[in-house]
């Protein structure tokens, strides 16, 4: 899950980013409204955490610009502004959720996971694909009813495929959601991770669609 975190307080931004990465999120940072608007219009994100009081351009204006440009990723506003009118303005601009500072990062993680799940079209948190079950709210996988142990990169790949189960995920799209923007990685690294996942799953769940990408499917009974 790739998240854009827009926060001008450097210490807070680094702290939140550290916690999100520990929960397997890929995190991009923007510290002013202009950079945030550009990132949101040019990059692919599963969700955005957006402060309102930003340098150069305020958060509500950035959010309006994204929605006008047809950018539909879910947005959680994270701000110290707790007035009713601020919340109304945020939701009218296109926000999906609103969390007031100070906050618990555990709540932020749960809200982000719920937003990403709903945006992918899943009402229930548990997503089943044959013997594989992904609890998108807890961030856990089960295989044949038993916990599945995964590395951080394996988790990112498999969660991306699980949220889009039955649909092709393009290789470039998968790559963007697995690695940080400045990561130094080999061109075949996604294939290496997929090979490890296939061995761990032991079921023909991950298809390679030649020339396009990959798809998670339920095996025939």
Residue 221 lies in a domain: no
Are 148 and 208 part of one and the same domain? Answer: yes
Q: What CA dihedral angle connects 106, 110, 112 and 118, to 10 degrees?
A: 180
Domains: count for the chain: 2
Are 72 and 47 part of one and the same domain? Answer: yes
Domain ranges, residue 42: 2-119
Are 95 and 174 part of one and the same domain? Answer: no
Are 164 and 82 part of one and the same domain? Answer: no
Report the SS3 class of residue 114.
helix
Are 52 and 148 part of one and the same domain? Answer: no
Are 92 and 178 part of one and the same domain? Answer: no
Please give the pLDDT value at position 176.
Answer: 85
Please give the pLDDT value at position 175.
Answer: 86
Please give the pLDDT value at position 4.
Answer: 97
- In the chain, beta strands by DSSP E: 2-6, 26-30, 47-50, 75-79, 97-100, 126-129, 132-135, 140-143, 146-147, 169-170, 206-209, 213-216
Are 151 and 97 part of one and the same domain? Answer: no
Burial of 221 (0-12, 13-18, 19+ CB in 10 A): exposed
Q: Widest CA span of the chain, in angstroms?
A: 57
Spatial strand order of the sheet with 146-147 comes to 126-129, 132-135, 140-143, 146-147
Are 91 and 36 part of one and the same domain? Answer: yes
Start-to-end CA distance of the chain, whole Å, equals 30
Please give the pLDDT value at position 177.
Answer: 85
Please give the pLDDT value at position 207.
Answer: 94
- Give the position of tokens 């608007």: 37
Boundary residue ending a domain (119, 138, 154) = 119
- Give the position of tokens 């926060």: 7
Please give the pLDDT value at position 185.
Answer: 64
Q: Residue 122: CA atoms inside 13 Å, Cβ hemisphere, count?
A: 21
Are 133 and 35 part of one and the same domain? Answer: no
Are 103 and 139 part of one and the same domain? Answer: no
Q: What is the CATH number of the domain that holds 28?
A: 3.40.50.2300
Please give the pLDDT value at position 32.
Answer: 97
Please give the pLDDT value at position 218.
Answer: 80
Please give the pLDDT value at position 179.
Answer: 80
List the one residue out of 209, 123, 96 whose CA is nearest residue 161: 209
Are 101 and 141 part of one and the same domain? Answer: no
Are 130 and 105 part of one and the same domain? Answer: no
Q: Per residue in 93-137, pLDDT tens?
A: 999 999 999 999 999 999 999 999 999 999 899 999 999 999 999
pLDDT beneath 50, residues of the chain: none
Q: What is the CATH number of the domain that holds 199?
A: 1.10.10.10
């Amino acid at each position: 899950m790739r998240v854009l975190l827009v926060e001008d307080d450097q210490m807070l931004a680094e702290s939140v980013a550290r916690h999100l990465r520990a929960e397997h999120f890929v995190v991009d940072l923007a510290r002013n409204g202009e950079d945030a608007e550009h990132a949101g219009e040019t990059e692919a994100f599963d969700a955005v955490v957006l402060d309102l009081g930003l340098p150069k351009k305020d958060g509500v204006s950035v959010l309006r610009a994204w929605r006008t440009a047809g950018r539909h990723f879910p947005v959680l506003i994270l701000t110290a502004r707790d007035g009713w009118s601020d919340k109304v303005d945020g939701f009218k601009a296109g926000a999906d959720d609103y969390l007031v500072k100070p906050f618990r990062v555990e709540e932020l993680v749960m809200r982000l996971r719920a937003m990403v799940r709903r945006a992918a079209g899943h009402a229930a948190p548990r997503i089943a694909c044959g013997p594989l079950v992904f609890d998108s709210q807890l961030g856990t996988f089960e295989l044949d009813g038993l916990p599945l142990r995964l590395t951080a990169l394996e988790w990112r790949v498999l969660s991306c495929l699980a949220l889009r189960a039955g649909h092709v995920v393009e290789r470039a799209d998968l790559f963007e959601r697995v690695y940080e923007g400045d990561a130094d990685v080999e061109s075949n690294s996604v294939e290496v991770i997929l090979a490890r996942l296939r061995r761990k799953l032991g079921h023909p769940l991950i298809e390679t669609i030649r020339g396009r990408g990959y798809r998670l499917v339920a095996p025939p009974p």
